[in-house]
A and B are shown apart, each in its own frame.
Chain A
Amino acid sequence: MRDLPFICVGMEAPAASEPVAAEGSTATASAIVAFLHEHGLSIDRWACPDLSEQLRLALTRGVDVVLCNALDSEPDAPLSATLLRSCRQDVLRGLRAVAAAVRAARCLIAVGRELDPAVFPTSRRAADNPQVVRLLSSYPQSHPTLLIQTTLHRALLPGRLPTERGVLVIDAPAAFVLGRWVGGFQPVAVPLCVRDDRSAAVTLALSLPRLTVGDLLARLGLAMDRQTVLICGPKLRKQQLPREAPVGAVDPVLRVCRIVAPRASDICTRCNWCADICPVDLLPMMALEAAQFGDARAAERAGVRRCIACGLCDYVCPSRLPLMAAVQLGQAQLRAGVSGD
């Protein structure tokens, strides 16, 4: 892939795809699940909930829409936008293969408004397949709950699979991997975006799925020490990642950050900024209080079930309170209450 802005790690540069016809392949859902399993591709992340499970459920329950989530959570890690610009045919082939496998009537691709309209012109006709939907790719719009709500007006509770609402959600990196496989390209390569926050350098890489994250970083020349931490996915989620994790089982957006000296939390001043910014209208400060007192009913009233764990509440809280952790604790309390019943 010499003409693409990807550094190949642990493999020879694969050949670039040529444009292919829209009909794509005839891979079945079971074959796709087997392929994912065989290559250690565990695609269960922020922008794409458990793909294997979605495929299984799609066969039993049926879905009418396959939605490709090609929004980048953060503009400083433009993995999906790069894939759409450079490997559009692979992404489309993968998307069509999945749509054919689950026999979905419609195929949508959600792209950021900042993407050049020449690359992906907005669909005017409902018959377009895939139909392109241009959205403002502001965080946390790429979360499936918000994406499905915005594009299809279907309500999905966070943590549930989109197939419950008749939708299969796949992100652009996953569609790319499947598209390459369906097109017969070898070896299987996972696209990644590694951002080093210390130098603000962004590296786009193609890696073998079984390579560990530590090996990947070493081969990319990104040294880590005790003062740095590796997180994956949207940065506000602060999801830490062990270096032993295989590349095929993690979020394709990795971030090397320097740890900041912690500052003590202040008391909640009831500024309500957390509630104002929450994209799903829950009350994080009330969830914090519920977590403090172990009050599952108060956690329920605060709306913790709706939390998409975007971390915006933590980000804006002027008192630096651990609101997202409190919401997650409230969710755990609710789960424990339900299982206890």
Chain B
Amino acid sequence: MVTEPATSSSAPILAAGHGFTAGVRAMFWSGVSNDRIVIHQCLAMLLPLLAGLMMYGWRAAGAVATVVLTALLSGALWQHVGRRGSWLRPGQLLPLALPVALMLPAHLFARRLEMEGAGLITVWPILPAAGLTLVVCCWLMGFSHRGMAVLLTPLLISSLFGAAMEPQWVLKRSHAFLGDLLDAEPAPDEARTTGWHEYADTSDRAALRTRPSAARLTAFTTGVDRPERSWLSMEHVIRDELAPLENLFLAGEPGPIGTTSAVAVVIGGLLLIYWGLSDYRIPLLIVVGALLALLVLPVPVVVTEAGPQWRWLAFRADAARWDVAVTFANYQILGSPLLFVALFLAPAASLRPLGRSWRAVYALLAGILSAAAQLYIDAATGPCIALLLVALLTPLMDHLRRSRDPG
């Protein structure tokens, strides 16, 4: 694994030493510069951002701007700290700060917040803290591991400010883009069962407050929600407690700004693949690996007052059939930031291995571990934890990479 970046100052020396004039070198070049790559990466993230702005309004814009600006300002300071900081320039930090901002919820763009079970919490420092944490992580980990910093930042922020991090708000369709996310009323039963785009608004409040699917899934799979003198089946959770699947696929679910609309994330990711900035095999294998693992790994098909009843191969259990098991897996994939992580973060060069075959191993491992982390730790942070763990193995995979040796 290479540890330090090549410096620009060495380039002319090498070129001059080998009889290439700089002009001749410049003649045959693809024309795809680093600036163009950054622009394309940001353009691809524009779609999830737009979906977030639609669902979470101006607070989402404020949250993204706060994280990005804090990161850029911190970078301007930290780039003077030692040699490690020299690369922390706006062009390098922008594509790192943007995904971090998209993985945070929009309600953090507020001064204080009344959170269920935690009382009044001061939340305004969280977004600047995220920007600063990203830059400090980048500085500590170095340029080669900048992808790790992107994964680590939301995890650190979640663990530090856990009580304030659960997204519970989403704008009503009639207040999309412009409404105040925190001007909310509790979601009525009708809002839970009908799709976001179909829900008929009767009050003048801008938003609905409801529990996100990721939190409900985590509560079910970890056995936190235990019914008294009764039992809770997987089918019951899917039918009565989770939002319609179309909310997760299109829009209308409380969640992080950029990860909730699966369709926006997928289109953004496909743009990256189309522009040649991403290897399509990685997201594909991550999703396939996660889907298979979610069908195979032990899940609680029923939760009783005594605790969850775990079953391998849930689709073969009496309490959960094929359709229930597959729907449950779909909820796990769409309710978590798995698609965002798979399409925007996992293919990053600073995380993935060099060898193509090892990339397949990396992606499958990330998918399987993500499913396990979602089931047994937390659906909202599981994909980031999984990718972080698998990325730690990347140097080993690069070491084991065997080249075709012609001779």
How distant is the Cα of A52 from the Cα of B83 in the complex, in angstroms?
Answer: 53
Query: B4 interface residue, CB < 8 Å from A?
Result: yes
How distant is the Cα of A262 from the Cα of B29 in the complex, in angstroms?
Answer: 11
CB-based nearest A residue for B24: A238
Q: Of B23, B36, B143, B403, which contacts A318 at CB under 8 A?
A: B36
* A158-B406, A267-B87 known; A292-B354 Cβ under 8 A: no
How distant is the Cα of A305 from the Cα of B403 in the complex, in angstroms?
Answer: 12
Q: Of B8, B23, B354, which contacts A259 at CB under 8 A?
A: B23
Query: A291 interface residue, CB < 8 Å from B?
Result: yes
CB A306 to nearest CB in B, in angstroms, measures 6
Flag if A306 contacts B29 (CB, 8 Å).
no
Mask: chain B, 1-40; 1 = CB below 8 Å from A; 0 = not: 0101111101110110111111111111110111011000
Chain B contacts for A334, CB-based, 8 A: none
Cross-chain pair count, CB within 8 angstroms = 150
CB A32 to nearest CB in B, in angstroms, measures 27
Chain B contacts for A44, CB-based, 8 A: none
Interface of B is mostly: loop
Chain A contacts for B406, CB-based, 8 A: 145, 149, 155-158, 280, 306
Query: B313 interface residue, CB < 8 Å from A?
Result: no
CB-based nearest A residue for B33: A318
Q: Of A145, A158, A262, A319, which contacts B34 at CB under 8 A?
A: A319
Q: Of B25, B34, B404, which contacts A269 at CB under 8 A?
A: B34
Q: Of B20, B30, B144, which contacts A322 at CB under 8 A?
A: B20
CB-based nearest A residue for B92: A269
Query: A1 interface residue, CB < 8 Å from B?
Result: no
Chain A contacts for B7, CB-based, 8 A: 267, 292
Interface of A is mostly: loop
Query: A160 interface residue, CB < 8 Å from B?
Result: yes
Per the CB 8 Å criterion, the residue count for chain A at the interface is 57
Binds B, one of A92-100, A214-222, A309-317: A309-317
Mask: chain A, 139-178; 1 = CB below 8 Å from B; 0 = not: 0000001000100000111101000000000000000000
A-contacting residues of B (Cβ < 8 Å)?
2, 4-8, 10-12, 14-15, 17-30, 32-34, 36-37, 87, 92, 143-144, 349-350, 354, 403-407
B-contacting residues of A (Cβ < 8 Å)?
145, 149, 155-158, 160, 229, 231, 235-236, 238, 240, 257-272, 275, 280-283, 285-286, 288-289, 291-292, 303, 305-306, 311, 314-322, 325-326, 328-329
22 contacts between A and B (CB under 8 A): A149-B406, A157-B407, A229-B21, A229-B24, A231-B24, A238-B27, A264-B8, A267-B6, A267-B143, A269-B37, A270-B2, A271-B37, A272-B354, A281-B404, A283-B354, A285-B6, A292-B14, A303-B403, A314-B29, A318-B36, A319-B34, A325-B17
